[in-house]
């Protein structure tokens, strides 16, 4: 599919093809776009009145291809086949259709779960449970007059009432939200958004912007006490690249575009943004801006704040933007920094000018095995110190290494399995690594072929100094593939009494080890205290390196059989883990954002005065709290 | 009468716990030693359980880790810059400090001690009793988190015995903070070093290099989980057998790795070591009377071996429940200050932290006190001191039994075998302590042989010696009795039954005696309520919403309790009297102690007072400290007059 798409794009040949190979490394066979929009700066495709055709990978009716009560595509999920072996369905991912022979045993061993004890989600949404919409008839009349597409359908509304926090998915499976959006609107351009915000001000409504719906901070949850009509403003139909400026290497893009579409379309012209958050299949450009997102390859391309050149946002006060598109300016505090991380509390980001880069010529995965986590962290620190981090470098702890191992598909030939055995023998017996202590770093290099090879050597040389052993491209690539697939695992866990979630932080280098150890230990202890019967799965990885510190990502899951209120227990443990992070000098969030989930620590995080500064901006920009999702402040 | 909510939560002894304390059973560890070979015991296979996160290393490796640590290197660089010296010279100085300080634990020496101490202990003591459950808890704790052992300190035997005990139970031997004075002892100092002692100078407040090296040395051992760290909160041996107010320096050092989250948690283990008869009892009495403590020397030790022929009864060691520092700190302290400064920089603890350290120190001492074992002799001594010069033997037994009941009501931990009749218990106490008291013609009197002949001064001195020795045993009761007794005293002082007034007198007494007895800081009202509760429980008082009054049959209890504390009230009065009269100018503690001693001595010679305990330098220093703490040191004359008058009401 990749080659075809590149062909139809017509533009730059070889590099685009390579780029697509790269994406197809993570994803395979994502649904082909219905048709490519012309890359012309047309003011609004909705001028004719009716909504323009959905050009993106995700349709207006999201439920047609996405799960209504879980993560990702309907056709992609983990199942246990008739033989009782784990299998990943669908054809979208490399793992699709493959059997994972050791996975069942891993689950049983790690969680004490059993295939016999199953919980089942309700089969479909029960429309009768859905809270009736609070409708403002005059608003609907005005809305109809604008010809902006909208819906009051229960499924559409429920789909936009949540992100992907554990408790939200749990509610979908077993209960119903107390408050959901009353109307969903699909603007197709900036002007549509201006009209909607004007109407909301006129009729005093509450707007909650919706991008890709991948929030993990309860940011999309509707405040229960909201009495006004809640309008879910779905940006998914504002998904065009308006123009590409090859001289300055920038592109102006509508904010509703999702990551995979943005990269796919740019690649047709031989470019990329290089911004690849783990959620890039579904999350949107506007969402990245609103949460201060971070991408896997930030070492080369930067995080969202480094990438953004210009933002256009519609607020109840009017439109906020800059008068030029320049790399840097000294004009007081950067207004972009009021917008980035504002989490939908100030307005709707409609258009973003973002930096682009030519597609890299060459890409290479890699991996290194370290005798223990301490050595691994020391190596990452040295790599950061020498500022030679590859596009991505990640270090997973032993538990996560074993987890990755359990997701190894059945090997086709005896020869491969023989090779695997040899490798294992070499590392554990010959080199004396303890398989229950060792850990693995995965690497991704990008750029000119020659430079990549040079770079690779430099990094491996450093790794050797810290006792690291090169462990092959294949392990590295599988590590990154798992990033996308791992989100699907939670749905499988939920079927077998296992609940879990991930959370993240950033921390100075000298505290990385202490923080990782203490947070994991805290989780284990809290589980014990809260009566969790089986020891939890508590694991971490260092996912980003910076000059002054690192980003650490935790996975935490446990078997909740025998606990009457698992979600409450889960939330208390997550809260304790967050307290532990803060006590260890970690941040409240590196890139997930605050939402409503982490609001209680905002004051502690940025001080009273800091919070007051943010509040005063909110009060000026949105005095009537039209953007009333109650995030952040 | 407001009460800090956090303090209440922190000091969470409920009233139920006060009375229904569950304590473990004791085992005698000498019993087996008397049956099997000491040599085989010393050579046994010793494979202690260790901390799960231990990275094994040798004593010398620790020193070089400490020397190379960011913390020490930072201070070295700072000092080099300030003094214009080369860092190498200061580094060398640091190395010397480390060599002076560091232990060099060796299994061989440990075995040597295991052998000799077996011989010595069997000679000195009848039994050494240990709560085995406590040892099991300790064993689990050692594997889980770094452990800090906090024993009470009554004798040099304390740390020898504790290491001996851990060896016996196959637990990791502790490294022990010892005073540098031991190094003055030839051979013995080095032997102790090889048995795990590390040495700290007595005062090094101003020496930044010393402080940095010392703190880092202790913290490195703690972080690595190298061995349990043992030190004495009281700082020195208590000469009076009363728990001394805690010192905070070492405690705050061992707590820091947790504050900085370098360790997940740290266990603090209070250990109560109770002696039926204290080895150093007469030395202490001399010291309190101003005859200086003999310097630690090997020849002194050899001379002291004649005590080997003496009998020192039973030792009880109660290893308390390990207390998780994390649990104590939960919700109490803001760690933000630690997040904003690199962790290797020396940082003055915030007021919050200082307060927390102090609270923990007091809590640990109170836990020690709670599990101190009281022998029947302790009760006898308390009764005897109230009935000088002599008491009828039968009456003594009767009163001892009565006091036993009262002590148990107040939560005291009395070791009195069920089948042992009172007469035998009292007799065995008298036999063991024949140097203090004896039975003459059906009466029990103080053993003041040779008192009749000699000058008046000599008689007073000898009498004081015996009384101070005897009070050492009564003192073991005081911290159990202090809350109800101060209520009883306050009742006498106030001569009113209004609760508020009684409480205000109670508070006054509690403040005055804040260095004499152990009170958890800032919870005066809770202490008062506890005192009232205990008095109500033994039917000594009745309380209503507004009033407190003694019951008819309660007067026995109330007067006994106030008599028990009378030496302190009278003693403090004498000391304040001295201060108000005799002192016109500024003075130092060195001048004050002999001054007040002479003053009291003269009064005793004249027969103007019977308060021999006022001769104790310990009491004198505590009174002075309280005065300074309460801010009475400005107008000392009036203040003392005022305090005297107030105290007078107690004894009238």
How far is residue B3's CA from residue A577's CA, in Å, rounded to a whole number?
32
How far is residue A122's CA from residue B263's CA, in Å, rounded to a whole number?
45
Contact A517 B264 (CB under 8 A): yes
CB B172 within 8 A of CB B166: yes
Contact A511 B343 (CB under 8 A): yes
Fold annotation for A241-358: 3.30.465
Question: Pick the residue with more confidence: B393 or B635?
Answer: B393
| Structural tokens at position B467 | 């009384």
Q: What is the pLDDT of residue A36?
A: 39
The interaxial angle of helices B87-101 and B59-68, nearest 10 deg, is 150
pLDDT band at B648 (very low <50, low <70, confident <90, very high): confident
The answer to whether A348 contacts chain B (CB < 8 Å) is: no
CB count, 10 Å around CB of B106?
A: 15
How far is residue B279's CA from residue B446's CA, in Å, rounded to a whole number?
19
How far is residue B556's CA from residue B150's CA, in Å, rounded to a whole number?
38
Q: What is the pLDDT of residue A370?
A: 95
pLDDT band at B47 (very low <50, low <70, confident <90, very high): confident
Q: Is A266 annotated as a binding residue?
A: no
Contact A518 B264 (CB under 8 A): yes
Give chain B positions within 8 Å (CB) of A584.
261
Contact B261 A584 (CB under 8 A): yes
Torsion of CA A208, A213, A214, A217, to 10 degrees: 30
Edge-to-edge order in the sheet of strand A498-508: A469-470, A362-370, A439-447, A392-396, A537-545, A549-559, A498-508
Q: What is the pLDDT of residue B531?
A: 95
Highest averaged pLDDT of the listed ranges A416-430, A603-617, B448-462, B481-495: A603-617
Contact B262 A510 (CB under 8 A): no
Q: Considering only alpha carbons, which residue of chain A is nearest residue B144?
A: A521
Give chain A positions within 8 Å (CB) of B52.
none
Contact A521 B264 (CB under 8 A): yes
Which residue is catalytic, options A365, A488, A496, A553?
A: A553
Min Cα separation A514/chain B (Å): 6
| Structural tokens at position B417 | 């075998």
The interaxial angle of helices A373-385 and A449-465, nearest 10 deg, is 130
CB A279 within 8 A of CB A259: yes
Q: Is the pLDDT of residue B643 over 90?
A: no
Min Cα separation B333/chain A (Å): 10
pTM: predicted TM-score of the whole model, two decimal places: 0.89
Size of interface A-B (CB pairs under 8 A): 20
Beta strands in A463-617 (DSSP E): 469-470, 498-508, 537-545, 549-559
| Structural tokens at position A549 | 């510190």
Beta bridge partners of A443: A366, A393
Q: Is A488 a catalytic residue?
A: no
How far is residue B338's CA from residue B347's CA, in Å, rounded to a whole number?
8
The interaxial angle of helices B208-224 and B87-101, nearest 10 deg, is 60
Looking up tokens 């992100």 gives: A163
Looking up tokens 């040389």 gives: A461
Alpha helices in A496-544 (DSSP H): 512-529
The answer to whether A517 contacts chain B (CB < 8 Å) is: yes
Whether omega for the bond prior to residue B389 falls within 30 degrees of 0, making it cis, is: yes
Domains of chain B, earliest start first: 28-45+58-371 (3.40.1130), 375-447 (1.10.10), 457-651 (no CATH)
Positions of chain A with pLDDT under 70: 1-55, 412-419, 422
Tell me the pairing of strands B147-151 and B267-275.
Answer: parallel
pLDDT tens column, B125-160: 999 999 999 999 999 999 999 999 999 999 999 999
| b (16+ CB within 10 A) / e for A607-623 | eeeebeebeebbeebbe
Beta bridge partners of B550: B541
* Chain centre to alpha carbon of residue B417: 26
Q: Nearest to residue A311, comparing CAs of A277, A333, A339, A284? A: A339
Min Cα separation A511/chain B (Å): 8
Min Cα separation A537/chain B (Å): 18
3-state secondary structure of B540: coil
Sign of CA dihedral A365, A371, A374, A379: negative
The answer to whether A102 contacts chain B (CB < 8 Å) is: no
What percentage of chain B exceeds 90 in pLDDT? 65
For residue A222, with 0-12 CB atoms within 10 Å meaning exposed, 13-18 middle and 19 or more buried, which class applies? buried
How far is residue B269's CA from residue B172's CA, in Å, rounded to a whole number?
14
Q: Is the pLDDT of residue B379 over 80?
A: yes
User: SS3 letters for A64-98?
Assistant: HCECCCCCCECCCCEEECCCCCEEECCCCCCCCCC
* Chain centre to alpha carbon of residue B31: 28
> What is the rounded average pLDDT of the residues B278-287?
91
Give chain B positions within 8 Å (CB) of A604.
336
Pick among A522, A581, A585 to test the B interface (most B CBs inside 10 A): A585
Q: Nearest to residue B155, comparing CAs of B91, B240, B224? A: B240
Edge-to-edge order in the sheet of strand A86-88: A78-80, A86-88, A99-100
The structural architecture, per CATH, of the domain A497-597 is 2-Layer Sandwich (3.30)
Beta bridge partners of A444: A365, A392
pLDDT band at B416 (very low <50, low <70, confident <90, very high): confident
Give me chain B's average pLDDT, please: 89
Q: What is the pLDDT of residue B628?
A: 85
Contact B335 A583 (CB under 8 A): yes
pLDDT band at B641 (very low <50, low <70, confident <90, very high): confident
Domain residue spans in chain A?
241-358, 497-597
Question: Pick the residue with more confidence: B368 or A21?
Answer: B368
How far is residue A86's CA from residue A98's CA, in Å, rounded to a whole number?
9
Edge-to-edge order in the sheet of strand A230-234: A149-151, A183-186, A230-234, A206-210
The answer to whether A575 contacts chain B (CB < 8 Å) is: no
> What is the rounded average pLDDT of the residues B600-618?
93
Query: How many degrees, rounded to 5, is the angle at CA A75 between CA A74 and CA A76?
Result: 95
3-state secondary structure of A12: coil
The answer to whether A579 contacts chain B (CB < 8 Å) is: no
Beta bridge partners of B443: B392, B440
The answer to whether B55 contacts chain A (CB < 8 Å) is: no
CB count, 10 Å around CB of A334?
A: 14
Q: What is the pLDDT of residue B611?
A: 93
pLDDT band at B590 (very low <50, low <70, confident <90, very high): confident
How far is residue A165's CA from residue A171's CA, in Å, rounded to a whole number?
10
Min Cα separation A580/chain B (Å): 9
Contact B335 A517 (CB under 8 A): no
User: SS3 letters for A490-501?
Assistant: HHHHHHCCEEEE
Q: Is A125 annotated as a binding residue?
A: no
Q: What is the pLDDT of residue B101?
A: 92
Beta-carbon contacts of B505 under 8 Å, excluding residues fewer than 6 positions away, are B489, B490, B493, B494
Q: What is the pLDDT of residue B180?
A: 84
The answer to whether A529 contacts chain B (CB < 8 Å) is: no
> What is the rounded average pLDDT of the residues B94-109?
92
Contact A604 B336 (CB under 8 A): yes
Q: Is A235 annotated as a binding residue?
A: no
């Amino acid at each position: 599919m990749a080659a075809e798409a590149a062909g139809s794009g017509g533009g730059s040949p070889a590099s685009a093809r390579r780029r697509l190979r790269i994406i197809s490394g993570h994803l395979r066979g994502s649904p082909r776009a219905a048709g490519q929009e012309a890359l012309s700066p047309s003011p609004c495709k909705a001028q004719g009145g009716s909504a323009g055709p959905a050009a993106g990978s995700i349709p207006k009716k999201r439920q047609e291809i996405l799960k209504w009560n879980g993560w990702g595509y309907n056709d992609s999920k983990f199942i246990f086949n008739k033989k009782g072996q784990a299998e990943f369905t669908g054809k979208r991912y490399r793992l699709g259709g493959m059997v994972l022979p050791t996975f069942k045993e891993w689950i049983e061993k790690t969680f004490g779960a059993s295939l016999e004890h199953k919980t089942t989600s309700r089969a479909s949404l029960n429309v009768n449970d859905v809270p009736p919409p609070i409708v403002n008839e005059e608003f609907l009349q005005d809305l109809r007059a604008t010809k902006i597409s909208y819906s009051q359908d229960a499924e559409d509304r429920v789909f936009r009432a949540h992100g992907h926090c554990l408790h939200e998915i749990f509610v979908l499976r077993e209960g119903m939200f107390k408050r959901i959006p009353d109307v969903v609107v699909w603007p197709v351009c900036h002007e549509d958004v201006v009209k909607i915000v004007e109407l909301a001000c006129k009729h005093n409504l509450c707007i909650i912007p919706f991008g890709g719906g991948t929030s993990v901070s309860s940011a999309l949850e509707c405040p229960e006490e909201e009495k006004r009509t809640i309008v879910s403003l779905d940006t998914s139909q504002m998904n065009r690249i308006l123009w590409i400026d090859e001289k300055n290497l920038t592109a102006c893009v509508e904010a509703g575009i999702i990551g995979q579409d943005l990269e796919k379309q740019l690649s047709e012209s031989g470019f990329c943004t290089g911004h690849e958050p783990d959620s890039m299949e579904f999350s949107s450009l506007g969402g990245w801006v609103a949460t201060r997102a971070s991408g896997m390859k930030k070492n080369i391309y930067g995080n969202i704040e480094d990438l953004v050149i210009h933002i256009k946002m519609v607020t109840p006060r009017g439109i906020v933007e800059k008068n030029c598109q320049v790399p840097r300016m000294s004009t007081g505090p950067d207004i972009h920094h009021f917008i980035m991380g504002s989490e939908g509390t100030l307005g709707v980001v409609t258009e973003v000018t973002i930096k682009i880069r030519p597609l890299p010529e060459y890409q290479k995965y890699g991996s290194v095995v370290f005798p223990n986590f301490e050595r691994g962290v020391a190596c990452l620190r040295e790599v950061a110190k020498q500022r030679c981090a590859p596009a991505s470098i990640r270090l997973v702890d032993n538990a996560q290494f074993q987890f990755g191992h359990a997701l190894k598909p059945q090997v086709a030939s005896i020869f491969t399995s023989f090779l695997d055995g040899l490798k294992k023998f070499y590392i554990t017996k010959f080199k004396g690594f303890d398989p229950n202590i060792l850990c693995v770093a995965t690497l991704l290099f990008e750029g000119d072929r020659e430079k990549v090879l040079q770079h690779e050597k430099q990094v491996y040389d450093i790794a050797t100094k810290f006792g690291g052993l090169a462990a092959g491209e294949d392990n590295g690539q599988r590590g990154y593939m798992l990033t996308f697939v791992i989100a699907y695992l939670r749905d499988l866990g939920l079927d077998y009494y296992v609940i879990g979630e991930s959370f993240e932080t950033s921390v100075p280098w000298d505290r990385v080890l202490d923080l990782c150890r203490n947070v994991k230990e805290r989780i284990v202890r809290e589980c014990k205290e809260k009566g969790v019967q089986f020891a939890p799965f508590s694991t971490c990885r260092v996912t980003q390196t910076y000059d002054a510190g690192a980003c650490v990502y935790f996975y935490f899951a446990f078997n909740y059989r025998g606990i009457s209120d698992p979600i409450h227990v889960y939330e208390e443990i997550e809260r304790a883990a967050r307290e532990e992070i803060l006590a260890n000098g970690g941040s409240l969030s590196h890139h997930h954002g605050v939402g409503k989930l982490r609001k209680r620590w905002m004051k502690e995080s940025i001080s009273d005065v800091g919070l007051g500064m943010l509040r005063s901006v909110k009060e000026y920009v949105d005095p009537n709290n039209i953007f009333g999702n109650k995030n952040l402040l | 009468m407001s009460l800090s909510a956090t303090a209440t939560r922190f000091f969470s002894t409920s009233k139920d716990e006060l009375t229904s304390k569950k304590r473990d059973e004791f085992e005698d560890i000498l019993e087996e030693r008397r049956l099997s070979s000491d040599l085989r015991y010393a050579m046994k296979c010793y494979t202690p359980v260790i901390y799960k996160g231990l990275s094994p290393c040798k004593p010398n490796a620790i020193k070089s880790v400490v020397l190379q640590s960011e913390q020490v290197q930072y201070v070295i660089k700072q000092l080099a810059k300030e003094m214009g010296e080369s860092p190498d010279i200061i580094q060398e100085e640091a190395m010397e400090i480390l060599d002076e300080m560091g232990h060099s634990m060796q299994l061989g020496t440990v075995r040597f001690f295991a052998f000799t101490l077996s011989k010595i202990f069997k000679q000195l003591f009848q039994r050494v009793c240990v709560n085995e459950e406590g040892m099991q808890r300790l064993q689990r704790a050692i594997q889980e988190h770094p452990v800090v052992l906090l024993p009470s300190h009554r004798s040099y035997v304390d740390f020898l015995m504790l290491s001996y005990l851990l060896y016996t139970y196959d637990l990791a031997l502790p490294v022990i903070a010892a005073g540098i004075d031991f190094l003055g002892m030839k051979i013995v100092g080095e032997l102790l070093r090889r048995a795990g002692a590390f040495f700290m100078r007595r005062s090094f407040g101003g020496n930044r290099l010393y402080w940095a090296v010392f703190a880092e040395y202790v913290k490195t051992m703690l972080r690595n989980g190298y061995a349990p760290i043992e030190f004495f909160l009281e700082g020195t041996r208590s000469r009076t057998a009363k728990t001394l107010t805690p010192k905070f320096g070492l405690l705050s050092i061992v707590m820091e790795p947790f504050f900085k989250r370098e360790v997940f948690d740290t266990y603090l283990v209070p250990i109560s070591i109770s002696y039926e008869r204290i080895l150093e009892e007469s030395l202490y009495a001399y010291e309190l009377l101003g005859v200086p403590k003999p310097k630690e020397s090997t020849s002194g030790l050899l001379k002291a071996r004649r005590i080997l022929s003496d009998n020192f009864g039973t030792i009880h060691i109660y290893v308390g429940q390990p207390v998780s520092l994390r649990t104590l700190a939960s919700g109490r302290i803001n760690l933000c200050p630690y997040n904003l400064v690199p962790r290797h920089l020396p940082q003055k603890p915030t007021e919050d932290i200082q307060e927390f350290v102090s609270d923990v120190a007091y809590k640990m001492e109170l836990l020690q006190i709670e599990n101190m074992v009281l022998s029947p002799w302790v009760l006898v001594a308390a009764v005897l001191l109230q009935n000088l010069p002599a008491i009828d033997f039968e009456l003594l037994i009767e009163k001892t039994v009565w006091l036993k009941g009262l002590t148990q009501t107040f939560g005291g931990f009395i070791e009195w075998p069920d089948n042992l009749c009172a007469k035998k218990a009292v007799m065995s106490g008298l036999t063991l302590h024949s140097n203090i008291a004896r039975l003459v013609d059906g009466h029990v009197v103080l053993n003041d042989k040779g008192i009749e002949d000699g000058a008046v001064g000599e008689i007073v001195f000898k009498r004081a010696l015996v009384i101070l020795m005897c009070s050492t045993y009564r003192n073991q009761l005081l911290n159990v009795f202090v809350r109800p007794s101060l209520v009883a005293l306050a009742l006498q002082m106030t001569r009113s039954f209004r609760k508020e007034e009684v409480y205000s007198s109670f508070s006054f007494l509690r403040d005055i005696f804040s260095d004499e007895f152990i009170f958890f800081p800032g919870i005066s009202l809770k202490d008062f309520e506890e005192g009232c509760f205990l008095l109500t429980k033994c039917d000594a008082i009745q309380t209503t919403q507004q009033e407190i009054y003694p019951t008819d049959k309660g007067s026995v209890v109330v007067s006994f309790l106030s008599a028990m504390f009378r030496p302190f009230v009278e003693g403090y009065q004498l000391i304040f009297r001295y201060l108000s009269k005799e002192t016109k100018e500024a003075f130092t503690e060195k001048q004050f102690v002999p001054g007040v001693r002479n003053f009291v001595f003269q009064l005793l010679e004249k027969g103007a007072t019977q308060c021999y305990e006022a001769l104790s330098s310990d009491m004198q220093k505590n009174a002075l400290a309280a005065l300074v703490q309460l801010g009475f040191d400005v107008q000392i004359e009036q203040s003392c007059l005022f305090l005297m008058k107030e105290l007078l009401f107690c004894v009238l």
